Amino acid sequence: MKLKQLTCVVFGLLMTFTAAKRHTPLSRPSKHAELAESNPLELDLLAVEAEQSALELLSEGKKPKVEKFMGNIYEDMYYSESALAIYVQAFYDGYNMQDYAFAEECLEYTTGAVDEVHEFNLNMTRRFSWVDPYFLVGSIIGNEFNDSWFYCYQFANDVKQVYVTKFENFVDGGDIYLSMLFNLLANSLHIKNASENIIDALAIYDTKAFITNLASIIRITVDFDSYQTAGESAVFVATAATTGDRILKGIEKPANKFLDSI
C-alpha cells in the first residue's frame, strides 16, 4: 500500500513539473521583441535611423568592405589564406616591425608553421595508416617549427634589446614623462590622421585598416627616446663640429701663407 502511495506521489510531482515547464518560456525575449510589444513606433524610428546612416555612408562613397570571413584554420583553410593572417600582417605593417632584425623571417616561417595545422588535419583525414601523421609531425618539427622558433627568438631578442637600451637612457621618471609628452606632441598630426582612419574603418567594417592604424598609434605611444639624452648628444655633436671648424681654420691660415710665399 505504501509503495502504491509513493508511486502516485512521484507520478504527481512529475506531471506538475512537466506542466510548469511547458508554460515557462525557454529564453528571454530579445530587446527588439520587448520594444516591439511596448512601443512599436520607437522600433520603427530606430530602423529608419539605421537605414539613413547606411544611405549616408553610400552617398559618401563608403561601402562596407568585406573581403574574408574568419575560418577555422584547422578544419577549413590554411592560416595563410585566412582573415587572421591578414590581420597579423596589418599589425606588422602598422607597427613597422621590419625595423627590427629577423622580423620578416619570423613572420614568414611562422606562417608556414601554422599552415601545417591544417595540413595535419588533411593528413589525418586522408591517411592510409596511422604512421602518416607521425611522419608529418616529425617533418614539421624538423623544418617549419625549427626555423620559426629560431628566427622568432632572434626577433624577440632584438626587440628586447632596443627597448632596454631606450629605457636605460632615461635619466629618471620625470625624463620618461616629459619625453613621452614631447613625442606625442611631435606626432600629434600622425595620431590625428590615424584616429580618423580608425573611425572611418569602423564605419565600413574595414578591420584591416583599423588594425593597421591602431598598431601605428601604439608604436608612436611606446617607442620614444629620452629628450635629455638626445639633447646632450646634440650638444656634443655641435661642440665637436665647432671644434673641428676651428682646427681646420687654424690649419688653413698657415697653409695659405705658405702658398702665398711660393
pLDDT digits (tens, 9 = 90+) for 192-206: 999 999 999 988 889
Which tens digit of pLDDT belongs to each residue from 124-176?
777 777 777 777 787 778 778 888 999 999 999 999 999 999 999 998 989 99
Domain boundaries, the chain: 23-53, 79-229
Comparing 33-47, 91-105, 222-236, the range with the smallest average pLDDT is: 33-47
For the cut 70, the answer to whether the pLDDT of residue 38 exceeds it is: no
CB neighbours of 228 closer than 8 A, spacing ≥ 6?
A: 170, 171, 175, 179
User: Comparing C-alpha atoms, which of 72, 148, 71 is closest to residue 112?
Assistant: 148
Pairwise pLDDT comparison (101 vs 227), residue with the higher score: 101
When pLDDT is cut at 50, 70 and 90, the band that residue 33 belongs to is low
Query: How far apart (Å, rounded) are the C-alpha atoms in residues 50 and 55?
Result: 9
3-class SS of residue 1: coil
Pairwise pLDDT comparison (189 vs 69), residue with the higher score: 189
Section 82-103 average pLDDT: 94
Copy the grid coordinates of residue 100: 627590427
The per-residue pLDDT for 228 is: 82
Query: How far apart (Å, rounded) are the C-alpha atoms in residues 216 and 90?
Result: 10
Is residue 216 within 8 A of residue 94, CB to CB? The reply is: yes
Number of neighbouring beta carbons within 10 Å of residue 115: 20
Comparing 14-23, 28-37, 243-252, the range with the smallest average pLDDT is: 14-23
